[in-house]
Amino acid sequence: MAAGMRDRIVVLGRPSSGKSVYLSVLYQQLWDSPGDFTMRAADGITHAALLRDFSSLLEGRWLAATQALRQMELELIYRNKRIPFTMLDYPGELYRRMFFEKRVDSPEMEVLYEHLSRALGVILLIDPRDVVDGGEAQLDTEYAAIQVVEHFASQFNSDSLPLVLVLTKRDENQDLIQRSGGLAGFVRKYMPRLWKLLNGVPIVHLSAVRTVPTDDKNSRVPWLPSSDEQVVIPIRMILNRLEANSAPRPSQLEQKWHTLRMRYWQPVLSVLVGVFLFLFFFVVGVWVAS
């Protein structure tokens, strides 16, 4: 499935878009999965850290903001195939500096850039409120997303870009999406320049967790048991697209032979059938006359 050195799926998003929550819930769900799609960490430290983050969410505590680039080596078991890849958790500021300010000026930025250059696929997380509420978030969200799409479109066939756009926090933003005419309508309305570039890139809306209000009206806490979202959907989409792209295709010689058959064989067959019918009826006519 991998192309050259491409061996990882990268999750991208600005600060507070939900990267850490998504990764921890994704790992827990795939680690416990009884199906043909499972995941495990390459070492116990990473495994324990991801499950510890999940436990915090289960207890109603939000994860602390990521302060440093964290690289997690994992193995995905998909349809009896073992696919090693790396998941990255990183401060959202790195995303802004790379795709909005377009700077690679620190060791962490260089590591992130290297991982992006080796990406099999990309899951781009966007909080819908970031492009509706105005301010700095609205300014940089669409611009940075455009840079992400263009960056990977230059490396892949634009008709089969292994990228999924994920609008997050569905439980909080479902009404907003519906009022905008659905997922495509929302992106077209609030991020029109990005919409023009997507060219078939799938858009999904999900919540890794639900949120419930607390006694403080301005405070919300995560609530996992109520979530019926399938956080694996974006990865399934990427792997299915990669699998389709890697399927054997007819060689140029086979394509040429097929074209020649279609162009000449059918007319020749029609002539032969006509000659056969003429001879058949001629013989039958002679026989009847005699």
Q: Give the contacts of 127 (CB within 8 A, at least 6 positions apart).
A: 13, 14, 16, 17, 18, 167, 168, 169, 173
pLDDT band at 3 (very low <50, low <70, confident <90, very high): very low
Domain boundaries, the chain: 8-245, 251-290
Q: Report the CATH fold assignment for 8-245.
A: Rossmann fold (3.40.50)
**Which pLDDT score, from 0 to 100, does residue 2 have?**
37
pTM for the full model? Answer: 0.78
Q: What is the mean pLDDT of residues 205-212?
A: 89
Q: Are residues 166 and 123 in contact, defined by beta-carbon separation less than 8 angstroms? A: yes
**Which pLDDT score, from 0 to 100, does residue 245 have?**
67
**Which residue has better confidence, 75 or 248?**
75
pLDDT above 50 for 122: yes
**Which residue has better confidence, 5 or 131?**
131
pLDDT band at 53 (very low <50, low <70, confident <90, very high): very high
Classify strands 163-167 and 203-205 as parallel, antiparallel or unpaired: parallel
Q: 24-52, pLDDT tens digit by residue?
A: 999 998 998 887 789 999 899 999 999 99
The winner for highest mean pLDDT among 1-10, 138-147, 152-161 is 138-147
Average pLDDT, rounded, for the chain: 81
pLDDT above 60 for 166: yes
pLDDT above 70 for 171: yes
- At residue 87, what is the residue type? M
| Cα 81 to Cα 76: distance, rounded to the nearest angstrom | 8
pLDDT band at 263 (very low <50, low <70, confident <90, very high): low
Helix, strand, coil percentages in the chain from 3-state DSSP, rounded to 5: 50, 20, 30
Q: 81-110, pLDDT tens digit by residue?
A: 887 777 777 777 787 788 888 888 888 888
